[in-house]
Chain A
Amino acid sequence: MTDAGFVIAAYGVILGGLALYTVTLWRRLRAAASRDDEGR
């Protein structure tokens, strides 16, 4: 793998990981909110 390949792998996983965690967090928040509604 070339240097560029390693740079892309590093940035890709870090930025992609941040995005993935954020989206997952939104899903979990939405799920928690909808469960609250059922409780009421």
Chain B
Amino acid sequence: MKTRILGFVALAAVVSAAIVGLFVVPPDLNQGDAQRIMYPHVASAWLAYLSFGVTAVGGVLWLWRRDLRFDAVALSGAEIGVMFTAFAIWGGMMWGRPVWGVFWQWEDPRLTTTALLLALYVGYLLLRRLTEDPERRATRAAIVGLVAAIDIPIVHFSVEWWRGLHQTATIASPERALDPAAPMVFVGTLMGTLAAFSLAWLYLMIRRYELARAELAREEEARRGRLRAVQAAAANLRSQEEAAR
């Protein structure tokens, strides 16, 4: 019930944030209206980082505490993170064409490392489908999730470490955090969009986790069913042997 209320609040917040981003804030002086894409683009990218961070932490907790609920959290983070990464890439392309003049540049480090991030976590989700045993699956996924997480800081700092087309951080860097290179209306709109998307993220994480638990319970039920069938067959065989004797 509480989750449902969260869902309604998140919906209202996301719709409001979109209205503010599209119609209320002024466009950027140099980039024009295309700059409005920055709000969902950056919010999506930050939530993708958060999602994959949750996947890494969930994986570590599974390896440490051997509780499959942590693996369910890790799976939820990966699936939702893939969605937000795709949103960040799509928004970036739609922003890049009118402002840079190109949709995509493979040689740009930020773009390439983000594409790698998407590929890594799509791989993570595919890998999970290849393993049937829940505990083996959780362990393999935890390892892949940890290795893939190396790319998160690489994506974020790629704009500082290497020369590229993508601009550096306006807010999320040590020098910029307290002195963002944008007017407060832009920063406020970005923060509002981030808050709205975070509510939607939380709602989706809770629902995806519930689904993961339901699927685990079903797998466990199926396993018990097979176990009972084998036991019954064994008992049947035993009684036939006894009858024959």
Contact = CB atoms under 8 A, between A and B. Distances in A.
28 contacts: A3-B34, A6-B37, A6-B98, A7-B22, A7-B34, A7-B36, A9-B94, A10-B37, A10-B40, A10-B95, A11-B37, A14-B87, A14-B90, A15-B14, A17-B83, A17-B86, A18-B200, A21-B83, A22-B7, A25-B211, A29-B214, A32-B211, A32-B214, A32-B215, A32-B218, A36-B214, A36-B217, A36-B218
Interface residues of A, number: 24
Nearest to B91: A10
Interface residues of B, number: 35
Given A6-B34, A6-B94, A29-B211, 5 more contacts: A6-B98, A10-B95, A13-B87, A18-B200, A32-B214
B22 A33 contact: no
B77 to A, nearest CB: 14
B90 A3 contact: no
B33 A4 contact: yes
Nearest to B225: A39
A30 B113 CA distance: 37
Interface stretch (B53-61, B143-151, B175-183, B202-210): B202-210
A17 B204 contact: no
B67 interface: no
Nearest to A20: B83
Interface of A: 1, 3-4, 6-7, 9-11, 13-15, 17-18, 21-22, 25-26, 28-29, 32-33, 35-36, 39
Task: Give the one of A4, A18, A33, A36 with max B CB within 10 A.
Answer: A18
A13 to B, nearest CB: 5
A35 B86 CA distance: 31
B198 to A, nearest CB: 12
Interface in B180-216: 200, 203-204, 207-208, 210-211, 214-215
A3 B33 contact: yes
Nearest to B212: A32
Nearest to B90: A13
